[in-house]
Amino acid sequence: MDDLSQQVDEIEALVAIYGDEWQTDDEENRAYSINIGKEEQAVRLHIKLAKNYPSISSPMYEISAPHLDLSHKVHIADLLNEVCTANVGQNVIFQLIERVREVLDLDSKSLFSTESKIELEMTTDKVTESAAAKLLPAKVLECPDIIHGEVIIDRKSSFQGHVAVVISSMQVKQVLHELYKNKKIKQATHNMYAYRIYFEETKASVQDCEDDGESQAGGRLLHLLQIIDIKNVLVVVTRWYGGIHLGSDRFRHINNAARQVLAAADLIPHKTKKKM
């Protein structure tokens, strides 16, 4: 995937995560910003992307925080520089935002450790089902509970997210099988999905996605899970096509449907949820 495509995917994921908090200042020049923190104590992080980000360049950033002294701003800038240096060639905007949030100590009950926020795991190592079965107790081979999200409707097309906590590839198949028992879901135009699973015993990861005819949709869902760093989750988005082409809006609805059901299942870290 070229740099521009990666940037587009990353920005779409950030919009799905942060909602209106993420601002596009100058789309043509790839300039964005976000307020991090509470009101008068907030830090505004300005981001500008070069054409060769992320393959070669890191994001250019600027911190605006009148309430902080120079030494504090320099400290934050040094930490952001460390994030960029440690993740050359990777998408890092989410890590930058959360690094600032961590420094401000806005959420002492973080669901993610510092290491997991700075070092998003991108491995695609495959673990066979037979190996997983040997590692997992029988109870984890049962079909997990499935949470269904709200339906998003636009120009007669409908989008609905579904999510389940999974800890084996077999559970992924079980969840999909259970969903497809619903004739309405089975007969939908698209059922795109993505999942990430981490096996603590072997320190191995498995992740995959499926477009189901909606080109790039599965990959975008996987990127959303990666950028939030959610593991052991399967997210499915069902689309019923209404006969009117939605263009790129369909990807926004897919991301929003996924984000909504992840939030409903309380799987998004509290500090990344859009403030209602």
Amino acid at the residue 237: V
pLDDT digits (tens, 9 = 90+) for 181-192: 999 999 999 999
pTM for this predicted structure: 0.57
Please, what are the domains in the chain? 3-118 (3.10.110.10), 129-272 (3.30.230.30)
pLDDT digits (tens, 9 = 90+) for 150-165: 999 999 999 999 999 9
pLDDT digits (tens, 9 = 90+) for 258-267: 999 999 998 8
DSSP string, 145-197: P-EEEEEEEETTEEEEEEEEE-SSHHHHHHHHHHHHTSHHHHTSSEEEEEEEE
In the prediction, which pLDDT does 175 show? Answer: 92
Measure Cα distances from 243 to 16, 156, 185 in Å. 25, 7, 17
Contact criterion met (CB below 8 Å) for 166 and 172: yes
What is the pLDDT confidence band of residue 201, given thresholds at 50, 70 and 90? low
Closest CA to 233 of 151, 148, 160, 144: 144
Which carries the bigger pLDDT value, residue 72 or residue 176? 176
Mean pLDDT value across residues 79-108: 79
